[in-house]
Amino acid sequence: MTLLEWQQKWLQQLRGERGLAELTLKNYDRLITADLSELEQQTITDPKQLRVPVIERLLVGWRRSGLGERSIALKLSAWRTFCQFLVESDALDDNPATSVSAPKIPKRLPKNLDVDSISHLLDLPHDDEIAIRDAAMMELLYASGIRLAELVSLNRDDIDHRMMQLRVTGKGSKTRIVPFGRCAEKALKQWLKVRQAWLVDKPELALFISKRLQRISPRTVQQRLNHWGQQQGIVGDLHPHKLRHSFASHMLEASGDLRAVQEMLGHANLSTTQVYTHLDFQRLASVYDNAHPRARKK
């Protein structure tokens, strides 16, 4: 069987045994089809001809064609999966793609708002019930760094006003306790009065509700935040994750306590939290000058 024939068998296996979605299968197909056609022009049609130099030449070609690091990593991943299938089918002795290193993908720094922009954003009118609710949601997002899904799943009983903390159910149904500050507490108390007036005597667990007296949806929260971002003149789209990023960045800049921020964000791995450690160069230089024994002035 030729490599092109093996490719079709591979896609059938992915569809049948692994049950991958059609879009995923199309992506796998697209990622290596052009390469297989190129190899065929080089008379490389037998799986046994696939060796490390062949995969390395493909990678060089991807770079020359202008593909970025992420696209190259995706193509290499597809080739590793395909070659592993050939190994398991006894069409290939070992997987040559695993010996080729994928390019290191730089982590994109999360975009966040500065403290002044946050203060301006949260200065909403207090004579409108929807604005009072929206202010409470935004104050809580920024005060605690919780995710959008965590915000909408909050129940009234998850708020401990005396201790000023939340009981949050995050990814993997893991529960954590997160503190919040006095501004969020004030906004919450204002919202709870409105919430009570809306509900009257209707029982409802959800902390944040819509005008239909139902738990607010993630989509509605996104729309409301985007609305206020435009109203308050915030540059760029405003979304819940931007408030989460801002919380993490400001907490780290002020405290430098990566472990504490990790706990509050609900990150399983510290490496996920480390992406927020993008302090500006002047601050880094100042810390270095004051801390390093060979930099301190006498």
**Mind telling me the catalytic residues?**
147, 171, 241, 244, 267, 276
Of 237, 241, 235, which is closest to residue 218 (Cα–Cα)? 241
Looking at the DSSP bridge assignments, the partners of residue 178 are 166
CA–CA gap between residue 142 and residue 73 (Å, rounded): 34
Q: C-alpha angle with apex 131: 196 to 218, nearest 5 degrees?
A: 85
